[in-house]
Structure 1
Amino acid sequence: MLASAASNQVGAATGALAFGSIGPAGVVAIRQWVAAAVLMSVTRPRLRSFTRHQWIPVLALAGIYATMNLTLYTAVDRIGLGLAVTLEFLGPLAVALTTSRRRIDLICAVFAGAAVIVLMRPQPTTDYLGLALGLVAAACWAGYILLNRTVGARLPSAQGAAAASLVSAVMYLPVGLWILLHQAPAAQYILYAAAAGIMSSAIPFLVDLIALRTIPAGFFGLFMSVHPLLAVLVGWLMLGQAPDLVEWIAISAIVTANVVSVRSRLRGPCRPGS
């Protein structure tokens, strides 16, 4: 799980190295193409056998893929990797908190909400568009979680996710080809974007599937809290994006809210994959 989380954030930082040449949209396009190629070759979904009842959530999931990655990478370009991933992390946290009526979760929600207000506090250098895009990415991640349940119920294994990644890759064909043909980026920037597809999509997807066979789902959810902290560290080391003290405190508060909420749910032994 640590390898998966680290791969995800290092991949995002690697893709960010190509922003100056092909922009976030170009990086996302190549990332989607690579991720779809890997997932389709691994899962081999039987697309011709999909019914209309199955295609509807798959197409919706493809739209979420496309929107989530573009808004996240554009936010990374504007406000930095650590802050963008922290805001995106509010998506799964919100799903967990809004589906509960426990007092501890209400406290965690208020705690996380206060941290978000601190992160978005008005300053001369505040990039409100970047912050807004991070929140859109969070909403997409929340939708991804909820919609994935429907896709998983209607299609076996990971066929739905692979099909959605293929549709998303096709959606990015026009913009990706236009950028590659008109901007003619150097090969290294294309490789950066391709590495983002492998490290941020293909590897985490496959590794997480393996991990969930032996790791309790509750602990897996708890371990998700490491993503914002890794994003801050990777952004600092690879991109030179050092957060200030207030941002560190706010990010830590959001992570703490998730840890407290998930830990309070872990009652008794939890079977792997439950």
Structure 2
Amino acid sequence: MTSWTNRLPAPLLAILAIILIQLGTGTAKDLMAAGDPMALLFLRLAFGSLLLLPFLWSEIFALSRPQWRDACLLGFIYAGFNASVYWALGHLPLGLVATIGFLGPLAVSLTGIRRPLDLLWPALGLAGVLLLAPLGASGPVTLTGLLLGLFYAVMWALYILVSAKAGRNLPNLTGFALATAIAAVIVAPFGVTGVAQYFTSWHDIGKVLAVAVLSTYPFAMEFLALKRIAPSLYGVLLSLEPGIAALIGLALLGEALTSRGWLALILVSVASAGVTLMRDRTRKG
């Protein structure tokens, strides 16, 4: 993978990863409409582990005890991170899942703010999510959906923090590959009994394999892009994710957001880009 990804400009690689991740998530939601989400998640992680085996096999026997500890913690968080996405997708459109969940990365990016004015950005992001608060039974957002979206935001924040540490302490893609295998083992008791429902036709099997590919390699691409890109630019690119998710949800699943949903998405994306650029100026100053 590293040979062709190194030839792509890092910003293009990051945007491509974001698009592919959301395509995988949209395909997973389409499959989950008639199946067990935990069974699909187990299959996705199990197949993903096989796809990542070449990045793991040569390194696994040389890991130290602290490195194994970091990989196991990342695997536990990665399992919860992915489960929270699938649970939220059962109650919210894809674009809104990405919008609410994006509060996690936004919160992480706020660490170390120094001026009261800097609180403008998180306030803007919070206002965007509050726009989605269920004010009546007819809206697309229920209280359960909102709470699951916020749980996804918490797990996304934890994943960023733990993966950053594992990425520093584990070589190449070893940490991510090992975490994927550990996450599959953790999810197995909750999903292994329902996997048969995804093997009833070649069409469904193809979709499961597509979910595995689109939810495994793009995360690795994102990891590789981050090695070659300025954090400020990466944060701005990542702020495109809710919008990309909304467009894929519309094209793939027919999920049209309301005007309030689009406004919330724009506010959260602007808040993310703003806080990223603010931190960059603070460091340079």
Which region of structure 1 is more displaced relative to structure 2, 73-82 or 228-237?
Answer: 73-82
1:101 matches 2:114:
yes
Q: TM-score, normalised by structure 2?
A: 0.86
C-alpha deviation, 1:107, in angstroms:
0.8
Aligned to 1:225: 239
CA distance in 1, matches of 2:209, 2:167: 27
CA distance in 2, matches of 1:41, 1:156: 13
CA distance in 1, matches of 2:160, 2:196: 35
CA distance in 2, matches of 1:175, 1:267: 46
- Unaligned stretches of 5+ residues in structure 2: 1-13
Structure 2 counterpart of 1:19, from 1, 13, 32:
32
CA distance in 2, matches of 1:36, 1:115: 36
1:239 matches 2:233:
no
Q: Counterpart of 1:19 in structure 2: which amino acid?
A: M
C-alpha deviation, 1:35, in angstroms:
1.9
Check 1:187–1:129 CA distance in 2 against 1; reply closer, same or farther (3 A cut).
farther
1:37 matches 2:50:
yes
1:147 matches 2:170:
no
Which region of structure 1 is more displaced relative to structure 2, 72-81 or 231-240?
Answer: 72-81
Q: Give CA deviations for 1:162-221 in whole Å, capped at 9, x if unaligned.
A: 11111111223344331124775433223223212211221x233224434543232112
CA distance in 2, matches of 1:43, 1:180: 25
CA distance in 1, matches of 2:20, 2:190: 26
CA distance in 2, matches of 1:174, 1:269: 46
SS in 1 for 2:257: coil
Structure 1 counterpart of 2:271, from 253, 257, 272:
257
Q: TM-score, normalised by structure 1?
A: 0.89
Q: Give CA deviations for 1:109-132 in whole Å, capped at 9, x if unaligned.
A: 111112211112322144222221
Judge conservation of contact 1:88–1:134 (CA < 8 Å) in 2: yes
SS in 1 for 2:156: helix
Structure 1 counterpart of 2:181, from 132, 152, 166:
166
Q: Counterpart of 2:163 in structure 1: which amino acid?
A: N
Judge conservation of contact 2:134–2:142 (CA < 8 Å) in 1: no
CA distance in 2, matches of 1:77, 1:266: 37
Q: Give CA deviations for 1:197-246 in whole Å, capped at 9, x if unaligned.
A: 211221x2332244345432321121001110000011011101111001
Aligned to 2:191: 176
Q: Give CA deviations for 1:131-170 in whole Å, capped at 9, x if unaligned.
A: 2111111111111111123213332222122111111112
Judge conservation of contact 2:198–2:205 (CA < 8 Å) in 1: no
C-alpha deviation, 1:61, in angstroms:
1.2
Q: Counterpart of 1:197 in structure 2: which amino acid?
A: A
Q: Counterpart of 2:260 in structure 1: which amino acid?
A: V
SS in 1 for 2:146: helix
Judge conservation of contact 1:21–1:185 (CA < 8 Å) in 2: no
CA distance in 2, matches of 1:22, 1:225: 31
Q: Give CA deviations for 1:32-73 in whole Å, capped at 9, x if unaligned.
A: 112222222234353333333222222221111111111111
Structure 2 counterpart of 1:112, from 125, 143, 148:
125
Which region of structure 1 is more displaced relative to structure 2, 142-151 or 98-107?
Answer: 98-107
1:156 matches 2:168:
no
TM-align CA RMSD: 2.3
Aligned to 2:152: 137
Aligned to 2:4: none
Q: Counterpart of 1:253 in structure 2: which amino acid?
A: L
Judge conservation of contact 1:228–1:255 (CA < 8 Å) in 2: yes
Aligned to 1:121: 134
